[in-house]
Structure 1
Amino acid sequence: MATIADHDSYIAAAPEAFRPVLDHLRNLLREALPDAEEMIAYNMPGFRIRGKVVASYAAFSKQVGLYFLAPAISAHAEEIAEAGLRASKTGVTFSPRKPVPDDLVIRLARASREHVDG
């Protein structure tokens, strides 16, 4: 895969069925993290505050990944499980047909943001 320059390029290069979900995630994360800078790291779009990546997302062959700082995931583990989603230490994976609820995305992003300041 070619190096991705920005969020628009990443979303445009994703499988067509994933594009609306990725675009929606980007907009939710922008809303939740208004002071964050959009960036690309490891060919994945993300949001950085004072040099620290606080949120990112990625499309895979069959699922989407949404990534935050580990304390944000652990603080919302019960909600993630109740939504029927799978979580790792730093992320949540889901099918484009069953996305993460908007309010949970926003809470996760804001919780991740809190850990930039310490």
Structure 2
Amino acid sequence: MTELLDHAAYRAAAPEALRPQLAVFRDRLKQALPDAEEVMQYGMPGFTSGGVMIAGYGAFSKQCGLYVSKGAINAHADDIAAAKLKASKTGVTFSPTKPIPHELITALAVASRKDAAV
């Protein structure tokens, strides 16, 4: 697979059904983390500050994932459960038919940034 160099290229290469959600991720994360740098790390788009990954996102064959700090997931576990989404230690996955709420994207990004600053 060709190395993807930026967020737009990643989105263009993703399954068509997931592209709109990836655009939402980028926009919401960029708003929540205005001074963070957009990067590609480990083949996925993300945002860093001071060289530390704050939030990343990815698309798979049928679902998307938002990846943040463990503390951010723990702090918003009730919100994730209320939205009926799946969470791992550092990520939330969902499908285009059941997207992550925009406010939750922002809250997770801000909480992850706080963790990175510690």
TM-score, normalised to structure 2's length? 0.98
Matches within 5 A, 1:32-71: 32-71=32-71
Shift of 1:24: 0.9
2:27 partner amino acid: N
For residues 59-108 of structure 1, the C-alpha deviation after alignment (integer angstroms, 9 at most, x for no partner) is: 00111010001100011011101100000000000001111100111000
1:45 partner amino acid: P
Q: Per the alignment, in what secondary structure is the counterpart of residue 40 of structure 2? A: strand
Matches within 5 A, 1:5-20: 5-20=5-20
Partners of 1:82 and 1:99 lie apart in 2 by 13
1:35 partner amino acid: D
Report the identity percentage.
56
Unpaired segments of 5 or more residues in structure 2?
A: none
Unpaired segments of 5 or more residues in structure 1?
A: none
Partners of 1:58 and 1:45 lie apart in 2 by 7
Q: Per the alignment, in what secondary structure is the counterpart of residue 116 of structure 1? A: helix
Q: Which residue of structure 2 lines up, in the alignment, with residue 77 of structure 1?
A: 77
Q: Per the alignment, in what secondary structure is the counterpart of residue 12 of structure 1? A: helix
Q: RMSD of the TM alignment (CA)? A: 0.6
